Structure 1
Amino acid sequence: MDKPTIFISYSRTDITFVRRLAGDLTQAGYNP
């Protein structure tokens, strides 16, 4: 049952990356 932990860990890293990417796009003037 170690898969959920890996998934959660991956999701946290992914969310951090997505937030950073979204922030960069917003600064560039891109509005989703």
Structure 2
Amino acid sequence: MGSKANDAAVAHAAVRMKEELEKIREQVQNVE
């Protein structure tokens, strides 16, 4: 049960990281 909760936390963190990467990419494109 603990591992399932851990997997969910990792998946949530991965999604947030992807969103942050997309924001950074958009900012870089705007600079160019």
User: What TM-score do the two structures reach when normalised by structure 1?
Assistant: 0.74
The offset of 1:12, in angstroms, is: 0.6
- Stretches of structure 2 that go unaligned for 5 or more consecutive residues are none
- Stretches of structure 1 that go unaligned for 5 or more consecutive residues are none
Give aligned-pair identity as a percent: 0
Aligned residue-pair number:
29
Letter in 1 for 2:10: F
Structure 1 or 2, whichever has the larger Rg, is: 2
List structure 1 runs of 4+ shifted beyond 3 angstroms: none
Q: Which is richer in helix? A: 2
Higher RCO, Cα 8 Å, sep 6+: 1
